[in-house]
Amino acid sequence: MQTTRICLLEHLSRHTVALIRGGQRQSARACLSQEGKGSQGMNKPELEALLEELDEALVKAFPGPEPMSVLVVGGACLLLQDVTTRPTEDVDVIIFEMMGSQESTLIFHSPIADKIRRIIKGIGKRHGLKGERQMFFNDDCAPFLLELGENELPPMRLLKTYQKLHLYVPSDLSYILACKLIAGRPEKDLPDIEVLCRLLGIQNRAQAQRVVDQYFPSPIHQATYLLPDTLDGIFGK
């Protein structure tokens, strides 16, 4: 698993500059804060039903033994673990194993990635999802998070194993709090931030700053994404 993870990080690193120049850094960042935007989103049973359907489709499309292993981040990570009940628009993931392929992302075109995207969009369409929401399972946020984390994934644990789809979550939910704080959209993420702060015993600005520093230590990144302003707005100066 370690080797596969390194291949993923190297692959995404080669394309980071292109993403930034193409204006996709903002969209990748925003993907962490889409829950509840423009619709009621999906609750846990609805999300689990879509994931089961996705797994069944992947089994049919890829009959070999190799799995698709992903780290679940964002609101879906909290919803699937019963940390919150707030509906989510999609499942944000970082893929670190994809059917035994050297490719480990759905962002860039490849035969396997294109095939998986068609499967996801087809399921989304059958369930009445429109436009970009049809990609209810995506890794759009991966370049943003890997850039911030200096190409390091957090420690993780297995949440659920389907036949083909293996879901992992961060071992420590402080990683999700750090993601939501540095995403810089407290107006969207404040409910989750408040829940995580209570759960983790984060009571003041200094404690929140230490959480972000643990995973995203670069002062340049923190300034770029206005972390000081976000912390001021939540905890005061």
Mean pLDDT value across the chain: 86
pLDDT number for residue 15: 42
| First-residue to last-residue Cα distance in the chain | 42
Question: Which residue type occupies 114?
Answer: D
Average pLDDT of the segment spanning 10-37: 43
pLDDT of residue 5 exceeding 80, the answer is: no
pLDDT in tens, 210-235: 999 999 999 999 999 999 999 999 99
Helix (H) or strand (E) holding 83: none
Whole-number Å distance between alpha carbons of 120 and 157: 24
pLDDT number for residue 227: 95
pLDDT of residue 186 exceeding 80, the answer is: no
E-strand stretches of the chain: 68-73, 91-98, 137-138, 156-161, 165-170
pLDDT of residue 3 exceeding 50, the answer is: no
- Band (168; pLDDT cuts 50, 70, 90): very high
pTM score, whole prediction: 0.85
Tally of CB atoms within 10 A around 81: 14
pLDDT number for residue 237: 76
Whole-number Å distance between alpha carbons of 173 and 200: 8
pLDDT of residue 163 exceeding 50, the answer is: yes
pLDDT of residue 9 exceeding 80, the answer is: no
Question: Which residue type occupies 168?
Answer: Y
Whole-number Å distance between alpha carbons of 144 and 62: 29
pLDDT of residue 97 exceeding 70, the answer is: yes
Contact 234, 193 (CB under 8 A): yes
CA dihedral angle for residue 148, residue 149, residue 155, residue 156, rounded to 10 degrees: 40
Instruction: Specify burial of residue 22 (Cβ count, 10 A radius: 0-12, 13-18, 19+).
Output: exposed
- Band (32; pLDDT cuts 50, 70, 90): low
Helices marked H in 105-159: 111-126, 142-148
pLDDT number for residue 106: 95
Whole-number Å distance between alpha carbons of 77 and 135: 17
Percent of the chain having pLDDT more than 90? 75
pLDDT number for residue 39: 54
- Cα 115 to the center of its chain, rounded Å: 20
Average pLDDT of the segment spanning 129-145: 94
pLDDT in tens, 34-89: 444 445 789 999 999 999 999 999 999 999 999 999 999 999 999 999 999 999 99
- Cα 46 to the center of its chain, rounded Å: 18
Answer with the residue of higher pLDDT: 122 or 22: 122
Contact 153, 97 (CB under 8 A): no
